[in-house]
Amino acid sequence: MKKVRIGLLYSRVRAEEKMLIQAIKQHGGVTLELLCTNDLVLDFGDLPDVDVVLDREISQSRALHVLNMLERSGVKAVNSYDTARIGGDKVLTSQQLAKAGVPTPRIKVAFSRKSALSAVEELGYPAILKPVDGSWGRLMAKIENRTAAEAILEHKSHLGSHYHSVFYIQEFVDKPDRDIRAFVIGGTTVAAAYRSADHWLTNAALGAKTYPCPITPELDALCTKACRAVGGDAIAVDLMETGNGLTVHEVNCAMEFKASMKAVQTDLPALLIEHCVRVGKEKESGGIHE
C-alpha cells in the first residue's frame, strides 16, 4: 500500500515538532516532507507533492498563505485554512463559539480607545484585554479600575500593528487557581490536563504546573462542540471552571502539548499523526473528510 505523504509546515522546531517527527518515523506507513517556511518558495505550478499538510507554523500569516495554496491544489490540511483563519482570530473564534451555543466569557469588541473604555466599564472591573491574534499569554492585561483602563488602552492605541486597532475585551472569570487544556483529535476528546499557577494567567508558557484532568461528559461535550464550531480536526480547547459549570475561553489550532504530556498518559503526537494518515488516505480514496 502506498505510504501517506505528510508535509510538516513549521518555521521553528520546538519540542512538539521533535515529538511529531519522531512519531512519523515510528509509524511506518508515512513519508515526511519538511516544509520550513524560512526556506519555502511556492510556485503555483509546482507545489509540494504531499497528501496532507500538518500545520505547525507559529506565524498566522505564513500558515494561511501556505494552507490556502496547498488546499486549492487538492492537498488536505490539519487544520484547514478556514479553521486556522478562525482559530487565529479571537473575534472570529468567539463569534463561532457563540453561534454554536458554546458557553464562553462575555466579550466586547471595540475599535477606538474611547469606545473600548466604555466597553470595559459596561463589562465591569476587573476585565481582560487580549490581542486579537495573541498566544502564550503575551500582551494580555487585567484591567482593575478606570485609571488602569485609561493607561492600558492609551498604550495599546499607539502600538503599530493593525491588530492593535481592535480592542478585544473579555470579562474576568473568578476561577480557581487553574484552568483546563483539553485535546480533541478527529472529533474525540483524547486527553485533558489542569494548568495551575498562583498568577491569574495559567499558561504553561508562563510556568503553570500541569496535572491530570478527568474527561467528564460535560468536558467532552463542550470540547467536541467547540471543535466543530471552528471546523477543526485537531484542536486544543482551554476551559475555566465557574459556579455555573465550564466555560471555553480559547481554542488553539496548532495545538501545543509539551507541558500537558507531563500530566497525561495519552501519546498525543502518535494520535495526531494517525489522524493525518486517515485524512491522507481519504484523499487518496476520494473520500470527503469533514
The pLDDT value given to residue 203: 63
Determine the average pLDDT of the residues in 21-49: 94
Dihedral pair phi/psi, residue 66, rounded to 5°: -65, -45
Average pLDDT, the chain: 91
Helix axes 113-123, 146-157, angle to 10 degrees: 150
Nearest to 254 by CA among 142, 171, 144, 136: 136
The pLDDT value given to residue 134: 64
Dihedral pair phi/psi, residue 58, rounded to 5°: -85, -15
16 confidence band (pLDDT: 50, 70, 90): very high
Contact call for residues 114 and 157 (beta carbons, < 8 A): no
The pLDDT value given to residue 204: 60
What domains can be seen in the chain, in order of their start residue? Answer: 4-86+269-285 (3.40.50.20), 107-171 (3.30.1490.20), 175-265 (3.30.470.20)
Element (H or E) spanning 245, and its range?
A: strand 245-252
The pLDDT value given to residue 28: 87
Determine the average pLDDT of the residues in 232-245: 94
Point out which residues pair with 8 in neighbouring strands: 34, 54
In this predicted structure, the answer to whether residue 171 has a pLDDT above a threshold of 80 is yes
Determine the average pLDDT of the residues in 201-223: 84
The pLDDT value given to residue 290: 39
Determine the average pLDDT of the residues in 114-139: 87
In this predicted structure, the answer to whether residue 287 has a pLDDT above a threshold of 70 is no
